[in-house]
């Protein structure tokens, strides 16, 4: 591998004090006399046609189809071995970074834990401004002080906060414009995912499935911060699907929406994955299918009304959230061009759905699983008896972490393959009786890995959308929790838990390049171009790194 010769390490000063929540009256937090960033306002037309400007990265997942694919091909399978580090931005927070930045006309917007955002020059890493959100004192969150990204419309950024707020920030100055409380952090609600801008609305989910919340998807007016609609992921009394929850169990049933969805502009449908029912591992207190947990919902973008739903794991008792990023693809299926939704689910099954109707088309395991004998004609799992958690414990595959999890998969229209970081593990699942107390964990059990985690098999797998067959795989040990990106240059990028960032041939899985960044890659790669030069970026540990070909 070619030795690194270029390094521009950008160090950031100590964190500045958080700005007060007084919309329109805040001064930007800048370094020195750096000028405000210059970029053209991001219109709805630009967001819908983001593939037409591949030099930018305008959505958390690259485009509305959430494919995490770039049409840039300056870096390709022939020259990827010559990649060199260009600059690295050291974040002030030492929490592991899970961010995917946006890039707009040479300006990069990076989020850091717990709820901060920084604007930098995408060519050099030099900071323009920083905004530190003042977190409330009462926090209840599950799995780390994370923030995964922002959305943009016009010259406004939209960011979720760990204490369950949604804020709008001036993208030129870092000034807070409005602050909307989405839910009560004291009752176990939190937010870590990037929002999704659709039209004049900011669509956003909620986390807290381990605290007995009632999940929802919200839409807010981008100009004012007023809530436009809310879709409850657990139907209330009077709705026929409320009967899928025994008694009053729906009131504390979880079904969080803690990742980012996708959008089809032609159908005007927003697609959002939902989390596990609560309590996670004790289904005795919530008998029924528990709709719409561990499912995907298709919502009218204007009204939030449900168009259709598909439940991957009815009455989930293994914490196999369906909050993965929906992949939308227009491709052949059974000899017909179809509007597909492709989904490597946490339950270790790969699904192809018709995204116009929600009809199940195909399902096949893509990772080790021992809980289902198969899927029926409607895609409903045929469970293996004796695989539900018990007081003594039952060992089942996949693990609690799943065949995959929240880290982004990718779909390449060029290769017509889905790429996902998969895991062949198992967990011994236990159940117990928990009393619901607002703001405290309400999980009903837990799990234990029977063997050291590094004894199990992990791989980046390339999957056919038509058959679910694994076309090739690239073994990764120990288990990886990194997202995946593909490019028009036939390159796949991802990373590992022990700090490697690597590139593979998208058609064969052949290793092209790698570098050890020294810290866990727990984020999704992205790509952009400035001044005719393509960059690839990824967060590892608490640093954001960018790479390009040598001049």
- The residues assigned a catalytic role are 319
Which has the closest alpha carbon to 211: 147, 279, 259?
A: 279
Q: What is the distance of C-alpha 249 from the center of its chain?
A: 28
| 540 and 501 Cβ atoms separated by less than 8 Å | yes
Q: What does each C-alpha distance from 542 to 99, 107, 407 come to in angstroms?
A: 10, 20, 17
Place of tokens 């989910």: 205
Q: Beta strand pairing status for 360-365 and 372-375?
A: unpaired
Q: What does each C-alpha distance from 353 to 67, 171, 367, 469 come to in angstroms?
A: 16, 37, 19, 16
Distance CA 442, CA 431 (A): 12
CA angle 270, 294, 468 (to 5 degrees): 80
CA atoms within 13 A on the CB side of 397: 18
Distance CA 497, CA 540 (A): 9
CA 120, 180, 231, 147: dihedral to nearest 10 degrees?
30
Which has the closest alpha carbon to 466: 328, 352, 368, 310?
A: 352
Which residue(s) pair with 340 in the sheet? 329, 354
Place of tokens 């996949």: 398
Which residue(s) pair with 463 in the sheet? 418, 470
């Amino acid at each position: 591998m070619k030795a690194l010769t270029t390094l521009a390490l950008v160090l950031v000063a100590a964190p500045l004090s958080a700005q007060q929540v007084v919309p329109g009256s805040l001064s930007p937090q800048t370094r020195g006399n750096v000028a405000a960033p210059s970029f053209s306002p991001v219109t709805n037309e630009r967001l819908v046609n983001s593939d037409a400007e591949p030099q930018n990265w305008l959505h958390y997942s690259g485009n509305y189809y959430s494919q995490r694919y770039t049409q840039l091909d300056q870096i390709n399978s022939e020259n990827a071995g010559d990649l060199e580090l260009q600059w690295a931005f050291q974040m002030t927070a030492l929490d592991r970074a899970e961010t995917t930045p946006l890039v707009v006309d040479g300006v990069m917007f990076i989020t850091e834990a717990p709820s901060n955002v920084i604007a930098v020059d995408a060519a050099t890493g030099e900071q323009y401004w920083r905004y530190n959100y003042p977190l409330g004192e009462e926090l209840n969150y599950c799995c780390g002080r994370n923030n995964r990204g922002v959305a943009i419309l016009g010259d406004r950024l939209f960011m979720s906060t760990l204490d369950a707020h949604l804020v709008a920030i001036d993208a030129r100055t870092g000034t807070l414009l409005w602050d909307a409380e989405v839910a009560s952090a004291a009752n176990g609600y939190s937010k870590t995912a990037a929002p999704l801008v659709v039209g004049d609305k900011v669509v956003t989910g909620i986390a807290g499935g381990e605290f007995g919340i009632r999940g929802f998807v919200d839409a807010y007016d981008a100009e004012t911060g007023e809530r436009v609609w809310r879709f409850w992921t657990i139907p209330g009394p009077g709705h026929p699907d409320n009967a899928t929850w025994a008694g009053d169990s729906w009131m504390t049933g979880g079904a969080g929406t803690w990742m980012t969805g996708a959008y089809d502009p032609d159908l005007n449908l927003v697609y959002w994955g939902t989390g596990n029912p609560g309590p996670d591992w004790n289904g005795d207190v919530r008998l029924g299918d528990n709709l719409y947990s561990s499912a995907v919902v298709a919502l009218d973008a204007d009204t939030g009304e449900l168009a259709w739903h598909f439940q991957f794991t009815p009455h989930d008792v293994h914490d196999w959230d369906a909050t993965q990023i929906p992949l939308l693809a227009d491709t052949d299926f059974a000899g017909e061009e179809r509007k597909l939704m492709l989904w490597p689910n946490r339950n270790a099954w790969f699904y192809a759905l018709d995204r116009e109707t929600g009809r199940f088309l195909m399902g096949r395991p893509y990772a080790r699983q021992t809980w289902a004998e198969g899927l029926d004609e409607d895609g409903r799992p045929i469970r293996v008896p004796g695989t539900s958690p018990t007081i003594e414990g039952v060992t089942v595959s996949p693990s609690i972490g799943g065949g995959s999890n929240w880290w982004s998969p990718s779909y390449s229209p060029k290769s017509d393959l889905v790429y996902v970081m998969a895991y062949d593990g198992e967990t011994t699942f236990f159940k117990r009786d928990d009393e619901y107390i607002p703001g405290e964990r309400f999980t009903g059990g837990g799990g234990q890995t029977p063997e050291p985690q590094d004894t199990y098999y992990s791989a980046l797998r390339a999957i056919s959308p038509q058959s679910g067959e694994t076309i090739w795989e690239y073994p990764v040990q120990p288990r990886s929790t990194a997202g995946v990106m593909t490019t028009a240059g036939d390159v796949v990028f991802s990373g590992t838990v022990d700090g490697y960032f690597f590139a593979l041939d998208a058609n064969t899985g052949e290793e092209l390049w790698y570098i050890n960044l020294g810290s866990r890659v727990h984020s999704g790669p992205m790509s952009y171009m400035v001044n005719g030069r393509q960059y690839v970026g990824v967060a590892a540990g608490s640093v954001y790194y960018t790479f390009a070909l040598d001049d």
